[in-house]
């Protein structure tokens, strides 16, 4: 089914049908209703590419989301799902681009061929060439995360500094004096991933404020790496009684490592961190954590991008989220020997 057949059945020209579909020129209400009746009878659905050429919109958003390692973590998949679900509410499809830099061919196709109306960028780095490039060319984009200088950008982000600081203060209030920090993989820290850097900054600042003895560790995004990290922590300082982590993918391994060391959570060892609630609730005992609101962040990112597309001249807007710590069962007061 095509525009020519619709025009023939409605008794109008092809250009009139095109104008009625695109809205580029006015068409009388009677003619528009006649065309719509034919479209409804025939079940016509315009080709997406043709529609994009007609009205300048693809009805598709790009999600630029490189996997941090050789796979997507559970939290990353939560974010992808939240963006897709939120976009559907605005009648947008989502095209995923696993791009890590503005030179990547996937990223260039997304922009150069105008496959999408706007883009949502994830796994943001403090200095991110993708964000710089989109800002330079004026392409509508929203970041989930924020760069070193985010004032001129549209973004939604967690305040990782404040959240990790809150976790440290929670442990210090329970009497823990020797605490370790389990961060994301070393290559992400070297690459400037903002969540890893801001989380580390929050940990070191809070530890200094409370006079704690601390060590920091990078850890791979998987359970075996988490278990190995616990072994390193206990080897380096057997007196450690608590851990703060940003690495939800390693969480199961952290627990397993503590069990293999003969330590009971939370009687002997407390664990807390910044983790999505559904992952915090899958471990036993459930994790006391600042819950990452993946669904809310995905929804907010889509809302900001749709707003930017509908109002091209609007000033940049952003949302910085600081969810409270959800007290569950993985933290408890330190033992008497740990407070001295």
pLDDT band at 45 (very low <50, low <70, confident <90, very high): low
- Is 314 a residue whose pLDDT tops 60? yes
**305, 61 in Cβ contact below 8 A?**
yes
Beta-bridge mates of residue 303: none
Closest CA to 142 of 322, 321, 323, 317: 317
- What's residue 73's pLDDT? 78
Q: What is the pLDDT of residues 261-312, one digit of tens each?
A: 999 999 999 999 999 988 899 999 999 999 999 999 999 999 999 999 999 9
Token representation of residue 15: 């250009």
- What's residue 50's pLDDT? 52
pLDDT band at 122 (very low <50, low <70, confident <90, very high): very high
- Is 118 a residue whose pLDDT tops 70? yes
Q: In 3-state terms, the chain is what percent helix, strand and coil (to 5)?
A: 45, 15, 35
The residue with tokens 């982590």 is 245
DSSP string, 293-324: -HHHHHHHHHHHHHHHHH-TTPPP-EEEE-PP
Token representation of residue 273: 């961190």
C-alpha 205/C-alpha 210 separation (Å) is 9
- What's residue 101's pLDDT? 67
Q: What is the pLDDT of residues 133-167, one digit of tens each?
A: 899 889 999 999 999 999 999 999 999 999 999 99
- What's residue 56's pLDDT? 60
Residue 267: CB atoms within 10 Å: 10
Which stretch of 59-68, 166-175, 235-244, 253-262 has the lowest confidence by average pLDDT? Answer: 59-68
Locate the DSSP E strands across the chain.
60-64, 93-97, 118-121, 141-144, 155-158, 178-183, 213-218, 242-245, 270-276, 288-292, 318-321, 325-326
- Is 193 a residue whose pLDDT tops 70? yes
Closest CA to 135 of 156, 150, 115, 123: 150
Locate the DSSP E strands across 192-232.
213-218
The mean per-residue pLDDT over the stretch 75-85 comes to 90
- Is 48 a residue whose pLDDT tops 70? no
pTM reported for the whole predicted model: 0.82
Closest CA to 158 of 203, 200, 198, 206: 198
């Amino acid at each position: 089914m095509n525009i020519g057949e619709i025009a023939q059945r409605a008794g109008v020209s092809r250009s009139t049908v095109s104008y009625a579909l695109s809205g580029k020129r006015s068409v009388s209400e009677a003619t528009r209703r006649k065309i719509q009746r034919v479209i409804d009878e025939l079940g016509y659905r315009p080709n997406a590419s043709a529609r994009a050429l007609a009205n300048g919109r693809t009805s598709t958003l790009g999600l630029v989301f490189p996997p941090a390692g050789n796979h997507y973590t559970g939290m990353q998949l939560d974010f992808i799902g939240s963006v897709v679900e939120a976009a559907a509410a605005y009648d947008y499809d989502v095209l995923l681009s696993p791009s890590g830099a503005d030179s990547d061919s996937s990223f260039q196709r997304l922009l150069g061929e105008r496959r999408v109306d706007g883009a949502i960028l994830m796994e943001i780095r403090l200095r991110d060439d993708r964000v710089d490039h989109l800002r330079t060319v004026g392409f509508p984009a929203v970041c989930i995360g924020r760069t070193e200088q985010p004032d001129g950008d549209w973004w939604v982000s967690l305040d990782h500094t404040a959240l990790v600081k809150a976790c440290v203060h929670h442990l210090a209030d329970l009497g823990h004096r020797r605490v370790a920090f389990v961060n994301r993989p070393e290559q992400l820290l070297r690459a400037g991933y903002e969540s890893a850097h801001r989380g580390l900054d929050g940990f070191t600042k809070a530890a200094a404020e409370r006079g704690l003895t601390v060590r920091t560790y990078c850890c791979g995004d998987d359970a075996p790496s988490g278990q190995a990290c616990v072994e390193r922590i206990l080897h380096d300082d057997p007196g450690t009684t608590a851990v703060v982590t940003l690495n939800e993918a390693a969480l199961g391994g952290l627990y397993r490592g503590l069990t293999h060391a003969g330590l009971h959570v939370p009687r002997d060892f407390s664990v807390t961190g910044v983790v999505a609630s559904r992952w915090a609730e899958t471990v036993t005992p459930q994790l006391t954590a600042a819950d990452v609101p993946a669904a809310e962040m995905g929804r907010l990112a889509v809302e900001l991008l749709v707003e930017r597309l509908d109002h091209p001249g609007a000033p940049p807007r952003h949302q910085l989220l600081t969810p409270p710590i959800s007290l569950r069962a993985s933290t408890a007061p330190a033992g008497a020997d740990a407070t001295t």
